[in-house]
Structure 1
Amino acid sequence: MIERELEAILHASNDNIVITDEKGCILRASQNCRDIYGYDVPELVGQTVYELQDRGIFSPSVTIEVLKKKKEVQLMQKTETGKVVMATGIPVYDEYQCMKRVISFSHDLTELQRLKEDYQQLEVKMKTYQLEMEELREQQSNEMVIRSQAMKKVWSIISRVADSDATVVLLGESGVGKTAFARALHYGSERKEEPFIEINCGAIPASLFESEMFGYEAGSFTGASTKGKIGKVELAHNGTLFLDEIGELPLDMQVKLLKVLQEKTVTKIGSERAKYVNFRLIVATNQPLEEMVKKGTFREDLFYRLHVIPITIPPLRERKEDIAALLYHVLHKQNEKYKMKKFFHAEALDILVEHPWPGNVRELENTIERLVLTTDENSISPKDLPFYTEKIKSDKEEWETLDTLTSQGMTLQQALAEVEKNWLIRAYRQCQTTYEMANALGISQPTVVRRLRKYNIK
């Protein structure tokens, strides 16, 4: 009857049950082991858990852990069939406290894991929909997501001056999106159907700068094209000329650019004929032009000629409200570009939002593109983030510090006393009297005197 009861339990249980002896040899197993581990009962009975672990069937074996630790053990397994299993092993002792059996229960969590992932994806989608609805209500452009008050202020200025011909200086750290704002100025003006010519002043060698900017006549110098070349300034006729990294412009080119701005004419190398040009000028820099003027590395007259409407674009770390919406915006673009269906795990999104982004929007765009291309799963989780290991390390260092304190036998009371003493020492060094110390520390003067005596601070 006991035998039949045991068989009935094994057959009826929703969990997979495996019974082994004290050496790890399998004596019995429930019928559903095929569903979880991919093997029938006769294939498992008589074999040891050590053999099955080596073959990857039990990975890892909870029975082995019970035999090692002599106590109940619970762990997660991943089976050959691709299932995620919660396994619990329980030791069984005889009247002499000798282990005779190990009974393990394995519960299939695959479906629960899938539901959890579905829930996380649904949660992220809900956040996405909320952000998209907010974005529809708020002002934004095709290339930028604008939600923070700081960026709304910038965009307001951009909108007001876009349709004018006033020279605009875009200031801000590298990667904040100065080029995108320059394009917004162009496409918001009446010149939007005309050329938008961009020149990176820091990327062109000084020896080639004049020929690139102003062009040259055929055969005007050795190596010149026999057909001559039209300069970038002339190409911008009736359109917009955007000079990025204007702070890198050589001094001799600054003189010639100033002449072009004043006379609205450009003369090719090797030519004596000046040609009229009509363009709107936008410049950008991440350098302090005023300081460069004082040092003599940037012409003062050109500075005032350019400094008509300065617009400073704040770094990403100073406009946290933009980061989440920008992350979704970039992710959507990369998913479309690479035909992917990636989405952010909720915890990963929190870490991304709190990241300082020293490289600003450019760093964010590059990071998301890399994540879309390199992550194995559709869900972008915290472990996929390039800076997640640094966070783990810093957290670990904090715990190691706490471990060091406790290993030294320091209690919380002693730690607080140490902090109090350090504060008193600092106040003692900086203040002239105990009354000044009391005012600085926010306590009474008699208390200061008593604490100085307590810690023997002289």
Structure 2
Amino acid sequence: MENELLQIELNKIIETSNNNITVTDQDGIILRSNPNHWSIYGIEPDQYIGKSVYQLQKEGVLSPSIHAMVLEDKKPVQILQKTKTGRTVMATGFPVFDHNGEIMRAISYSQDQTEIFNLHEQYKGLEKKLVSYQTEVEELRGKEADYHGILYRSSSIEQIVKTIYSVSKTDASVLLLGPSGVGKSTFARMLHAQSNRKNEPFIEVNCSTIPETLFESEMFGYESGSFTGASKHGKQGLIENAEQGTLFLDEIGELPLAVQSKLLRVLQEKKVMRIGGKKERQVNFRLITATNKNIEEMVEKGEFRLDLFYRINIIPLQIPPLKDRKEDLPILINHYVQNINEKYQLAKKFHTSTYDVLTQYNWPGNVRELENILERIILTVDEETILPEHLPANFRSSIPHIEDRAASEINHVETEEHDWKTSIEKIETQLLKKASKHCKTTYEMADYLGISQPSVVRKLKQYAISRNL
């Protein structure tokens, strides 16, 4: 009688599951499965029980068969299947062993992922329209770039901004990738501000700062009295706070595996269950995520769920580090210097030589480091004009070629002048003339001399040096 009840319970669990649960024996013969899901494979419910997965694979119904792979590898497997009906299915299979360590069953869980891949295709279609929208985007960029805190001259950031404008009106999930400090949260806010949800909440969650023990209660909320110390009124979670708006999960690579599973369920079903609750709540939000980690590598190591990765990776945007887009430095430096002066009611300025050092530095901490260093220098230096010697030692030592080249040239300057200013002008003139002979453009001259391109143009004009560049 007890076995009969267990069979009834098992059949009901399989029948009512949102996933397609399938069980085979050690020979790949299907013993049980959810009848409601087999339509995606293009066969009727009564056509699979007792069938061999190897035969179904040969007929192209299962392409490939997750059970065949589990029985062969004798370990868990996760794959994407393509069905005869044109659907894309995420399948995860597990082996079941007897007391002797012999495989006796294989169980799989499958879910239709066609919607996700259709969004990928829609994104590709949007990319093709970018060329025709170029003029309009340039106008919008000029109006909005400063408002969103995104200032740039580089083509790499320009392409990212164009993509954000093109996908902002959709609800497709965006994954922002890049090292720490490149401004991923700024791009997330820009995406929200351009979306149809711009008047609704923008909830930013740094997954690395919330203790794992508190993560579920913070993300999903809790009902009153659900655990010791809980508020008697309960608490709405961060996911519910983002209702109708945007949920931005920064450093999503730090998300615990247990929370990853629950987040995946929320994304799939658009429902959230508070801790200690009995009623699911409908939620509607746009998801943006960011990380400085290699998520694909984490998936391979089992540190990040593959199915969640596919959910968040609809539109990946790689934000390059500052050292790879140095043409953005002049406009960023001017912007932050102006803002910091206004914030503290100061009037500090940078000497040209200081400006050159800042634009040659590699900025390993990216935009965040740039802003912090500029603020520190402006607040701690008493002089109105900030000179290179006011910069931290690592800035000057990181680009020694500037001083070395100048020092070597001094020994070759023929001058009897004792006036410092006149001697320096002679040295600069000689360096510029030498550089103009070796270089074709003012940008090449800037690299050769170790100064910025605007400084080269200014000094050529200052010394009336003609050039055929």
User: Which category of TM-score, normalised to the shorter sequence, fits these structures?
Assistant: 0.5 to 0.7
Q: Is the 2:357–2:399 Cα contact (8 Å) retained in structure 1?
A: no
Gaps of 5+ in 2: 1-139, 409-469
Q: Is the 1:169–1:282 Cα contact (8 Å) retained in structure 2?
A: yes
The alpha-carbon deviation at position 377 of structure 1 amounts to 1.1
The one of 254, 270, 273 aligned to 1:267: 273
Q: Is the 2:270–2:282 Cα contact (8 Å) retained in structure 1?
A: yes
The alpha-carbon deviation at position 396 of structure 1 amounts to 8.5
**For 1:330, what is the secondary structure of its paired residue?**
helix
The alpha-carbon deviation at position 343 of structure 1 amounts to 1.2
Separation of aligned partners in 2, 1:199 and 1:381: 40
**For 1:241, what is the secondary structure of its paired residue?**
strand
Q: Report what 2:284 is aligned to.
A: 278
Q: C-alpha offsets along residues 126-159 of structure 1, whole Å, 9 cap, x if unaligned?
A: xxxxxxxxx9969734211021111101111011
Is 1:366 equivalent to 2:372 in the alignment?
Answer: yes
Q: Report what 1:390 is aligned to.
A: 397
Q: Report what 2:264 is aligned to.
A: 258
Q: CA RMSD in A?
A: 2.4
Separation of aligned partners in 1, 2:300 and 2:227: 36
The alpha-carbon deviation at position 339 of structure 1 amounts to 0.7
Q: C-alpha offsets along residues 364-409 of structure 1, whole Å, 9 cap, x if unaligned?
A: 01001101101111112111111345358788999999xxxxxxxx
Q: Is the 1:139–1:152 Cα contact (8 Å) retained in structure 2?
A: no
CA pair 314-260 structure 1, distance change in 2 beyond 3 A? same
Q: Letter of the aligned partner of 1:259 in structure 2?
A: R
Q: Report what 2:200 is aligned to.
A: 194
The one of 145, 148, 158 aligned to 1:140: 145
Separation of aligned partners in 1, 2:234 and 2:376: 42
Is 1:289 equivalent to 2:295 in the alignment?
Answer: yes
Q: C-alpha offsets along residues 17-65 of structure 1, whole Å, 9 cap, x if unaligned?
A: xxxxxxxxxxxxxxxxxxxxxxxxxxxxxxxxxxxxxxxxxxxxxxxxx
The alpha-carbon deviation at position 183 of structure 1 amounts to 0.1
Separation of aligned partners in 1, 2:229 and 2:314: 39
Q: C-alpha offsets along residues 56-92 of structure 1, whole Å, 9 cap, x if unaligned?
A: xxxxxxxxxxxxxxxxxxxxxxxxxxxxxxxxxxxxx
The one of 229, 243, 261 aligned to 1:223: 229
Q: Is the 1:242–1:282 Cα contact (8 Å) retained in structure 2?
A: yes
Alignment of 1:10-409 (within 5 A): 140-142=145-147, 143-386=149-392, 387-391=394-398
Q: C-alpha offsets along residues 314-369 of structure 1, whole Å, 9 cap, x if unaligned?
A: 11011011001000111111111111111111011111011000000000010011
CA pair 208-139 structure 1, distance change in 2 beyond 3 A? closer
Separation of aligned partners in 2, 1:388 and 1:273: 58
CA pair 150-234 structure 1, distance change in 2 beyond 3 A? same
Q: Report what 1:440 is aligned to.
A: none
CA pair 372-262 structure 1, distance change in 2 beyond 3 A? same
Q: Is the 2:220–2:237 Cα contact (8 Å) retained in structure 1?
A: yes
**For 2:368, what is the secondary structure of its paired residue?**
helix
Q: Letter of the aligned partner of 1:362 in structure 2?
A: R
Q: Report what 2:422 is aligned to.
A: none
CA pair 354-396 structure 1, distance change in 2 beyond 3 A? closer
Q: C-alpha offsets along residues 235-289 of structure 1, whole Å, 9 cap, x if unaligned?
A: 0000000000000000000000000000101111010100011000000001111
Percent of aligned positions that are identical: 54
Separation of aligned partners in 2, 1:216 and 1:241: 19
CA pair 233-393 structure 1, distance change in 2 beyond 3 A? same
CA pair 292-342 structure 1, distance change in 2 beyond 3 A? same
Separation of aligned partners in 1, 2:404 and 2:154: 34
Q: Is the 1:178–1:284 Cα contact (8 Å) retained in structure 2?
A: yes
Q: How many residues align?
A: 268
Separation of aligned partners in 2, 1:242 and 1:356: 29
TM-score (norm 1): 0.56
**For 1:152, what is the secondary structure of its paired residue?**
helix
Q: Is the 1:342–1:372 Cα contact (8 Å) retained in structure 2?
A: yes
Q: Is the 1:138–1:147 Cα contact (8 Å) retained in structure 2?
A: no
Q: Report what 1:36 is aligned to.
A: none
Q: Letter of the aligned partner of 1:369 in structure 2?
A: E
Separation of aligned partners in 1, 2:402 and 2:352: 20
The alpha-carbon deviation at position 223 of structure 1 amounts to 1.0
Separation of aligned partners in 2, 1:146 and 1:255: 38
Q: Is the 1:139–1:146 Cα contact (8 Å) retained in structure 2?
A: no
Separation of aligned partners in 1, 2:193 and 2:141: 20
Separation of aligned partners in 2, 1:308 and 1:382: 46
Separation of aligned partners in 1, 2:238 and 2:161: 28
Separation of aligned partners in 2, 1:186 and 1:221: 35
Q: Is the 2:361–2:399 Cα contact (8 Å) retained in structure 1?
A: no
**For 2:335, what is the secondary structure of its paired residue?**
helix
Q: Is the 2:361–2:398 Cα contact (8 Å) retained in structure 1?
A: no
**For 2:357, what is the secondary structure of its paired residue?**
helix
Q: Letter of the aligned partner of 1:240 in structure 2?
A: T
Q: Is the 2:174–2:317 Cα contact (8 Å) retained in structure 1?
A: yes
CA pair 363-397 structure 1, distance change in 2 beyond 3 A? same
Separation of aligned partners in 1, 2:141 and 2:278: 54
CA pair 224-158 structure 1, distance change in 2 beyond 3 A? same
Separation of aligned partners in 1, 2:259 and 2:270: 16
